Amino acid sequence: MTEKLVVEDLYKIFGPKPERAMELLRQGYDKNEIFARTGNTVGVREASFSVQEGEVFVIMGLSGSGKSTMVRMLNRLIEPSYGHVYLDGQDITQMSQSELIAMRRQDMSMVFQSFALLPHKTVAENAAFGLDVSGHSAAEQREKALRALEAVGLAPNADSYPDELSGGMKQRVGLARALATDPTILLMDEAFSALDPLIRTEMQDELLRLQQEHSRTVVFISHDLDEAMRIGDRIAIMEGGSVVQIGTPEEIVSNPANEYVRSFFYGVDVSQVYSAGDIADRRRVTVIQRPGMDLRSALGRIQNYAGDIGVIIDRNRRFQGLVSAESLTRAIRQSPGGDYPDAFLEGVRTVAADTSISDVLGMAAESEYPLVVVDEEGRYSGTISQSTLLLTLDRTQQA
Amino acid sequence: MQEEGSEQQALGPLDQLRSWVNEQVLERITIGDWIESLVDWISANLEPLLVGIEATIRALVDVTEAALLYPLWITAVFVILGAWLKLGRKAGGIALVAAAAVFSLGFFSEAAKALLWFSPPWMLALLVVVAGLWRVGWRFALFAAVAVGLIFSMELWPETIRTLSLVVASSIAALIIGLPIGVAMSRSNRVEMVVRPILDLMQTMPPFVYLIPAAIFFGLGTVPGAIATLIFAMPPAVRLTNLGIRQVSQEHVEAGQAFGCTPRQLLFKIQLPLAAPSIMQGINQTIMLALSMVVIASMIGAGGLGATVLTGIQRLQVGLGFEGGLAVVFLAILLDRISQSFGQRRRGQGSGWGLLQWFFRGRQAGDKSAA
């Protein structure tokens, strides 16, 4: 994992004469006092974090916490007042206007809360917007736009106009527009917040699916805890312009940095809110079933990772069965050239990713082995052991 | 005694102040004289500029009038230009040869010559009705046919053409000047601060006032009429362009920037298309104001329907005045509805702006890749 985007001591102070406000900030005054004294608004203060290549990094906070300002400083739609943003080691804040434009055309694209589609252009033309701006030929624009639309499942609507689409479809166009230029970083500003809950979940799944096919670096802005937990590899929580905590969803839930962070989880009944897919543990060793991979190598992998149980999936990530070190050894002893099914544990139960945790509880209690969570197409998305469940429930009590 | 004295003393300085203000300030502000000396100075020193303006406006008015009188020529030019821009040089050449062939029919047949080279007045009337049918609908086309028929029966067609060409020419000039000003206003608050009071002045000044300097600078006739008209008609186009661009949502502008638009691309690909309905509204207003001003401009000899009305007033011929007025009303309705239809977005057709853009920018993307 390399660091794709590094934010270093970033400040944004709105209003004239930011120097004075900066001076007061150094002396430890807070946002409201500075506004009262100088009339300057502190948008973001002393933000530092790094985003790894290929991860979904969620910046979460309530409105006014500076998260939208934050994401706009990453591509300099808003000029940072102080600090640096490095993309692959290159300082974005020092770029000239033309370098900046080239960077926006090649490396970063953005998805907006209210879609920001052009009503006078067709879906395909909208999706091709970034390519049009950077001067690609009409044929190339069309081809790449169609490919991007295909990726989000909107190819049949290529020649419709945005006002003929529903909200969710419009945002798919927004997503296709961002993907068409094949950027390395995707900035998503409350991209799904304007959609109704059902469509929102659908779009989150869509994003996760796109990430599985081709993982990009995504910086996702959200005010929604569920959303952050579902899609975020790591979450940064912002309050009053500062980043108060950065960590994986588990870290943040189990060890909130302060009351503000804790308050996000307050009163949330995890067993009702979360589905099996949300708490599924993806860290178990997976072994892809393919010719040339025999029982012995699987055993090697499991022992390497100090695990006791491994998951066998096929090339499309479809779940095949669970094996343990013990069952593998037994199968090898019986027939050394045998196949995986010989070693599959019996009595393993699978649950759909959208089953709520309260429904999973009983099954987990009865089952000898971890429950295997699969999505609607039978693809493996994690396991739930009894201890995972207990930990999840325990966090609710803490919060 | 003491009280009286102090009262006198108090009055004394006040009177002094009043007479001083009168003498030193108020009597020295002689706006009328200043304007007159400014006008004198301009006509004495800026002769070449005035001649240049006059020639430009005259050319514009003449070309417009010719285009309206012989609509087939202009149609041919548009077809050739369109073929060249959309389909390439070869297609443009073919269209040119084809048009030349059609027009050369005039050398062989007198009837064809009359129709093509000097198209009869009903040709334009037909075009107006067809435009009404295409842009608005069949009911409006029916109305257009009746209106045009009545104008013919009142024998006011030449005057209507004259008025129409003045309106079109001065609207075009007003837009050429006004739209860039509107764009500049939308981009800078300082420019807006300077331009806004000037626009207020232009709009609230009684229109007759423009006739005086126009007549002094350019004499009597069509050109001063067109110039007074373009000044009077320009403000709405400027204002609504400014407003339209400023009302484009922040997220659309950000989207443009985020995908790497240069400021120029942002203007042409995001701001102007999204402001198009508002800009079209402004253009419509400009055309309507131009029409009302052209009638007034007949007082300095601009001719057209205004002259008919003026004659009616001078000779107290109610019938003639009413006929002229009615023709103006018909023209106004036709212009308004047809020009307004370009502001309404039609799916797949885009706005009028989009249509223009399609026409002139169609091959740009392809050209770039070839280069």
Pick from A133, A171, A186 the residue to mutate for testing the B interface (most B CBs within 10 Å): A133
Contact indicator for A289, A304 with CB cutoff of 8 Å: no
* Whether residues A260 and A324 fall in one domain: no
**Which site among B259, B345, B346, B367 would you substitute to test the A interface, given the most A Cβ atoms closer than 10 Å to its Cβ?**
B259
CATH number of the domain that A74 lies in? Answer: 3.40.50.300
User: Are A291 and A146 members of one domain?
Assistant: no
Nearest CA-CA distance, residue A104 and chain B, Å: 5
Instruction: Kindly give, in sequence order, each residue whose CB lies less than 8 Å from that of residue B86, ignoring residues fewer than 6 positions away.
Output: B359, B362, B363
Do the domain assignments include residue A110? yes
Domain boundaries, chain B: 70-120, 121-153, 155-361
Cβ–Cβ contact A136 with B under 8 A: yes
The answer on A255 and A135 residing in a single domain is yes
The residue out of A244, A268, A292 marking a domain boundary is A268
Comparing A68 with B103, which gets the higher pLDDT?
A68
- B337/A398: higher pLDDT: B337
Q: Do A136 and B369 touch (CB under 8 A)?
A: yes
Nearest Cα neighbor of B182 from B286, B54, B50 is B286
Q: Is there a single domain that holds both residue A283 and residue A263?
A: no
Kindly state whether residue A38 falls inside one of the protein's structural domains.
no
Chain A residue with the nearest C-alpha to that of B262: A101
Contact check, Cβ <8 Å, B365/A138: yes
Q: Which residue of B has its CA nearest to A183?
A: B259
ipTM of the shown complex? 0.70
Put simply, the answer to whether B269 touches A109 (Cβ < 8 Å) is no
Asked if A133's CB is within 8 angstroms of B249's CB, the reply is no
**d(C-alpha A348, C-alpha A284), whole Å:** 15
In one-letter notation, the amino acid at residue B100 is A
Question: Is A6 part of a structural domain of the chain?
Answer: no
Q: Provide the domain limits for residue A377.
A: 279-398
CA distances from B273 to A170, A185, B266, B278, B365 (A): 19, 28, 10, 10, 17
Q: Residues A118, A203: one domain?
A: yes
- Residue B347, pLDDT score: 46
Chain segment B147-163, per-residue pLDDT in tens: 999 999 998 888 898 89
Residue of B nearest to A75 (CA): B258
Nearest to B70 by CA among B26, B114, B28, B4: B114
- What is the C-alpha separation between A240 and A62, in angstroms, rounded? 9
Closest Cβ opposite residue B255 in set A116, A140, A163: A116
Q: Give contacts of B269 with chain A, Cβ < 8 Å.
A: 118, 129, 132-133
Residue among B258, B345, B368 whose CB faces A110 most closely: B258
Beta-strand pair A234-239/A82-87: unpaired
User: Same structural domain for residues A243 and A341?
Assistant: no
pLDDT band for B368, please (50, 70, 90 cuts): very low
Match domain B155-361 to its CATH number in 1.20.1270.360, 3.20.20.140, 1.10.3720.10, 2.40.50.140.
1.10.3720.10
CB–CB contact A110 B270 (8 Å): no
Chain B CB contacts of A190 under 8 Å are none
Which domain CATH number covers A299? 3.10.580.10
Give the model confidence (pLDDT) of A175-224 as tens digits.
999 999 999 999 999 989 888 888 888 888 888 888 888 888 999 999 88
pLDDT value at residue B367:
38
pLDDT of res. A61: 87
Q: Which residues contact residue A55 at a Cβ distance below 8 angstroms, ignoring those fewer than 6 apart? A: A1, A217, A218, A233, A234
pLDDT of B345 over the 70 cut = no
Interface size A-B, in CB pairs within 8 Å, comes to 82
Closest-CA distance of chain B to residue A145, Å: 14
Choosing from A268, A296, A326, the residue where a domain stops is A268
Chain B residues with CB-CB distance to A110 below 8 A = 254-255, 258-259
Q: Which residue of B has its CA nearest to A163?
A: B347
Rounded Cα distance between A377 and B8, Å, is: 103
Coil, strand or helix at B188: coil
Looking at the structure, tell me whether residues A235 and A109 fall in a common domain: yes
**Dihedral sign, Cα of residue B178, residue B180, residue B181, residue B183:** positive
Alpha-carbon gap, residue B9 to A282, rounded angstroms: 98
- Comparing CB atoms, the residue among B255, B274, B365 nearest residue A112 is B255
Average pLDDT, chain A: 85
> Contact B350/A102, CB-based, under 8 Å?
no
Inter-chain contact B257–A104, Cβ cutoff 8 Å?
yes
| Of A63-72, A362-371, A383-392, B240-249, highest mean pLDDT | B240-249
- Give the contacts of B223 (CB within 8 A, at least 6 positions apart): B54, B57, B58, B61
Let me know: does B85 contact B360? Beta carbons within 8 Å.
yes
For residues A260 and A357, membership in a common domain is answered with no
- Residue A19 counted as domain residue: no
* Count of domains forming chain A: 2
Contact B347 A135 (CB under 8 A): no
Residue of B nearest to A161 (CA): B347
Is the CB of residue A160 less than 8 Å from the CB of residue A122? yes
Are B254 and A187 in contact (CB < 8 Å)?
A: no
Among A263-267, B127-131, B308-312, B354-358, the range with the most confident prediction by mean pLDDT is B308-312
Residues A168 and A283 in one domain: no
A332 Cβ contact list (under 8 Å, min separation 6): A295, A296, A299, A338
Mark yes or no for CB contact B260/A112 under 8 Å.
no
Backbone angles phi, psi at B251, to 5 degrees: -65, -35
A262, A289: one domain: no
> To which H or E segment does residue A313 belong?
strand A309-313
Same domain, A251 and A331: no
The answer to whether A209 contacts chain B (CB < 8 Å) is no
Phi-psi region of B101 (alpha: psi -120 to 50; beta: other; left: phi over 0): alpha
Same domain for A315 and A213, yes or no, is no
Residues 6+ apart with CB under 8 A from A29: A37
